[in-house]
Structure 1
Amino acid sequence: MTEPPPAVIIAGGAARRMGGGDKALLPLADGRVIDHLLMQLHPQAGRIAINANGDAARWADAGLPVLPDPVPDRPGPLAGLLAAMLWAERLSAERVVTVAGDTPFLPADFVARLAAAGECAIAETAGPDGHARQHPVCGLWPVAAAPALRATLARGERRVMRFCEAAGARHVRFGGGRPPPFFNINTPEDLAEAERFLAGR
C-alpha cells in the first residue's frame, strides 16, 4: 500500500477580519478550528506540519512541526506552499498536500481524489451561481515545483491561481452538502455558522 503524502496546514494569515490572531486556534464546539481540521486530515495524510510565522510555542499542544515562511515579508499563501514543498522534500516525499487552516470540514476523500487526479491538483466546488469556485490552497503539489515557486515569489507574484495555472494544476470538483466541504472561517459570522453546522450533525 502506497504511503499517503505528507500534509501542511497553511495558517500564516493575519486574520484581519477576525480582529487578528490565528483563525486555526479559535474555539469551535468542543475544541478549536485546527482540532476539527486535524480529525479530518489525520486519516488521509502522512506526516503533518503547520505553516505559521511568529512564536511557534502557541502551536505546541498540536504536537506538530511548525514551518515559518522561507521567504521574507510574509507574501501570503504562496510562501506557505513553498514551505510545504521544502519540508516534504526533506522527508524524501515527491508530493505534498496543503490545506487552509480555517477549513474545519475537509472532505473525507480529499487527499485520495486529488492524488487520483495527477501530480498537481487543486479543489473546486460549485458556487451558489453554479460557476466553479477554486480553493487553490487546498491542493496537492509536486515538490519538484519548489524552484519555480521560489522564482515566482521573487518576481513579486502573489496570486495563488496564477501559480496553479503555470504549474498545470488539475481542478477536482467536490460536491456540496452541509457543511460545505471547504467552508472557511473569515469572520465572526462564519465562526457562528460553523458552530451551527456542528450542532446540527
Structure 2
Amino acid sequence: MTPLGVILAGGRATRMGGGDKGLRVVAGQRLIDHVIARLKPQVAGLAINANGDPSRLAEFGVPILPDSVEGYAGPLAGVLAGLDWAAGQGAEAIVTAAADTPFFPRDLVTRLQAAAGPSGLALAASPDGAGRIWQHPTFGLWPVALREDLRTALRGGLRKIVVWTDRHGAGRAEFGDAGFDPFFNVNSPEDIARAEELAGLA
C-alpha cells in the first residue's frame, strides 16, 4: 500500500529569525513548494504538520496537522500527528519530509520501503564525503501500528528520534548518488545562497 505523506513544518526556525522557514524562496519557489512537488507524486495523499494559525497555509489545500503533544516536542510530535491522521484515513504508514529540504530524492518512498526493518520503520541516510554516514531522521517511513508506542514515549519525555527508531530496529536507506547531499537543508540565511547553487543540480 502506498503510504501517505506528511511534511514536517512545525519547527521554530530560530536561526532564520523565526516564522515559517518553508515559506522562504529558493530558485523562484518557496521551499515548501519544492518539497510538495517532490513528495506528492510519491504518496497517496499529503498533509502538513504545522503549529499556530492553520489559515496561513490554507492555500496548499491539504490538511494542516498541529502537534498533539503539549510544548515543543520536536519532529517526533509531528510524526505522531501524521500517524494519527493516517490512522483516521485507514492508511498503514506515512513518509515524512522536512519543509526546509528542497532537493530530497524523487525515489525517497520506494527506497525507504525497500529498506524497512522488521517493524516497518526506515530512515534516510547519506554519506558526508569523509567516509561517514549521516542519518536524516526527519525523512522516514513510519508504520501506523507504532503510533501508541510513540505517544507513550513522547509523554514520557523522549525527544530524540533515533533513540526511539533504534529501539524498534529501523532500517536505513542510503542515498549517495546525486553528486551532492540531497538532504541539504536550509537552516540559515547563508544556506539560501547554497540552495540557489544546488537548484541547478537537483
Q: What is the CA deviation profile of residues 91-115 of structure 1, one whole-angstrom value per residue up to 9, with x for unaligned ones? A: 1011111111111101011001111
Supply the distance in 1 between the matched residues of 2:177 and 2:152 (Cα, whole angstroms).
36
Supply the distance in 2 between the matched residues of 1:82 and 1:182 (Cα, whole angstroms).
22
RMSD, aligned CA: 1.3
1:127 aligns with 2:125: no
Supply the distance in 2 between the matched residues of 1:156 and 1:128 (Cα, whole angstroms).
34
**How does the TM-score come out when normalised to structure 1?**
0.95
Supply the distance in 2 between the matched residues of 1:158 and 1:39 (Cα, whole angstroms).
29
Report the residue type matching 2:184 in the other structure: F
Gaps spanning 5+ residues in structure 1: where? none
Aligned residues: 199
Structure 1 residues 56 and 179, CA gap change in structure 2 (3 angstroms): farther
1:151 aligns with 2:152: yes
1:117 aligns with 2:127: no
Gaps spanning 5+ residues in structure 2: where? none
Percent of matched pairs sharing the same residue = 48
Supply the distance in 2 between the matched residues of 1:176 and 1:116 (Cα, whole angstroms).
17
- 1:166 is displaced (CA, Å) by 1.2
- 1:36 is displaced (CA, Å) by 0.8
Report the residue type matching 1:169 in the other structure: A
Specify the SS of the correspondent of 2:182. coil
Supply the distance in 1 between the matched residues of 2:114 and 2:199 (Cα, whole angstroms).
29
- 1:128 is displaced (CA, Å) by 3.0
Report the residue type matching 1:70 in the other structure: S
Specify the SS of the correspondent of 1:43. helix
Which residue in 2 is equivalent to 1:81? 79
Supply the distance in 1 between the matched residues of 2:60 and 2:180 (Cα, whole angstroms).
24
1:181 aligns with 2:179: no
- 1:177 is displaced (CA, Å) by 2.9
Supply the distance in 2 between the matched residues of 1:84 and 1:179 (Cα, whole angstroms).
29
Off by >3 Å, runs of 4+ in structure 1: none
Which residue in 2 is equivalent to 1:196? 197
Which residue in 2 is equivalent to 1:28? 26
Structure 1 residues 196 and 153, CA gap change in structure 2 (3 angstroms): same
1:67 aligns with 2:68: no
